[in-house]
């Protein structure tokens, strides 16, 4: 039996790249339905570029500062994605707002991770805002990217408790650990064709677990111990 061809994934980053590294790690598994073929940053100094290079993954920089308009930046970004043969795009700490036109070109094929339980706390400073709001549960969300900022259909969420002594850093670290589990899980499902965007929702086709499993990794069969 021939192995199923793995989906080609490009990761978009702007900084540290720890989620990118988690996606790469799962991508090394022989049973993984995706492979990371490129890491693209809008910032030349993004730390994640070094991590990708050390793992022999192709990298590119499309510096938004070099363009007059968002559309011009996105045109080159799109061309760069195509040049790597990307079939799926994973935004991992990619801190650029995208136009509806660009998003449409990758509709159903572009994922993002956001450090809150959406639709709560869209935008920036999510951990500070969670602490200010006094929520007892916080977390992260992987969703399909749509033109609405942090508003796309939810694929997987991971929840963590907010503890009495938490400051922003402690809470961010706890959420980040769950990010590293749910992002590979979500990308795995999309790459395998088990999850897709339909009618404005993320439909879990053949999701081999009960609905509760959508809430939080670890999920059986997914390398997220
Ligand atoms: C992550 O916490 C990610 O959820 C967040 O940026 C961080 C990137 O860290 N993304 C956003 O805030 C997007 N709105 P990483 O570079 O180590 O993956």
Q: What is the dihedral of CA 214, 216, 221, 225, to 10 degrees?
A: 170
Catalytic residue set: 114
Comparing 207 with 98, the larger pLDDT belongs to: 98
- What residue owns the CA closest to ligand 1's atom 2? 115
pLDDT at 206: 54
H-assigned helices in 29-167: 47-54, 70-83, 100-105, 126-133
pLDDT at 80: 98
> How many whole angstroms from 95 Cα to the centroid of ligand 1?
8
Q: How far is CA 6 from CA 106, 134, 213, in A?
A: 18, 43, 24
> How many whole angstroms from 173 Cα to the centroid of ligand 1?
11
pLDDT at 96: 96
pLDDT in tens, 61-95: 999 999 999 999 999 999 999 999 999 999 999 99
Domain positions in the chain: 1-106, 113-225
Res. 115: pLDDT tops 70? yes
Comparing 80 with 218, the larger pLDDT belongs to: 80
Q: What is the dihedral of CA 36, 37, 41, 44, to 10 degrees?
A: 120
pLDDT at 3: 59
Residue of 12, 18, 19, 172 best suited for mutating to test ligand 1, as the one with most atoms within 8 Å of CB = 19
Same fold, 1-106 and 113-225: yes
Closest CA to 218 of 191, 181, 188: 181
Mean pLDDT across the chain, nearest whole number? 91
Res. 1: pLDDT tops 50? no
Rounded distance, CA 85 to CA 108, Å? 16
Confidence band of 223 (pLDDT split at 50, 70, 90): very low
Rounded distance, CA 38 to CA 19, Å? 14
Ligand 1 contacts (CB < 6 A) are: 13, 15-19, 48, 92-93, 113-115, 140, 176, 179
pLDDT at 204: 83
pLDDT at 210: 45
Of ligand 1's atoms, which has the minimum distance to the CA of residue 16? Answer: 16
1-106: CATH architecture: 3-Layer(aba) Sandwich (3.40)
Specify whether domain 113-225 bears CATH 3.40.50.170.
Answer: yes
- What residue owns the CA closest to ligand 1's atom 17? 18
């Amino acid at each position: 039996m021939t192995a199923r061809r793995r989906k080609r994934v490009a990761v978009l980053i702007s900084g540290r790249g720890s989620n990118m590294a988690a996606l790469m790690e799962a991508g090394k598994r022989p049973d993984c339905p995706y492979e990371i073929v490129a890491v693209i940053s809008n910032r030349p100094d993004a730390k994640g570029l070094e991590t990708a290079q050390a793992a022999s993954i192709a990298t590119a920089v499309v510096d938004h500062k070099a363009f007059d308009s968002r559309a011009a930046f996105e045109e080159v970004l799109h061309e760069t994605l195509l040049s790597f043969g990307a079939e799926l795009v994973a935004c991992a700490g990619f801190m650029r707002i995208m136009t509806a036109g660009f998003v449409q070109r990758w509709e159903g094929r572009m994922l993002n991770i956001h450090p809150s339980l959406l639709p709560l706390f869209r935008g920036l400073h999510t951990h500070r805002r969670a602490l200010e709001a006094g929520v007892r549960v916080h977390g992260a969300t992987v969703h399909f990217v749509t033109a609405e900022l942090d508003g796309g259909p939810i694929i997987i969420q991971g929840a963590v408790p907010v503890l009495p002594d938490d400051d922003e850093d402690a809470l961010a670290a706890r959420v980040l650990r769950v990010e590293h589990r749910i992002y590979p899980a979500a990308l795995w499902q999309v790459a395998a064709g088990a999850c897709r965007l339909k009618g404005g929702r993320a439909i879990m086709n053949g999701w081999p677990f009960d609905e509760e499993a959508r809430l939080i990794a670890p999920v059986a069969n997914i390398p997220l111990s």
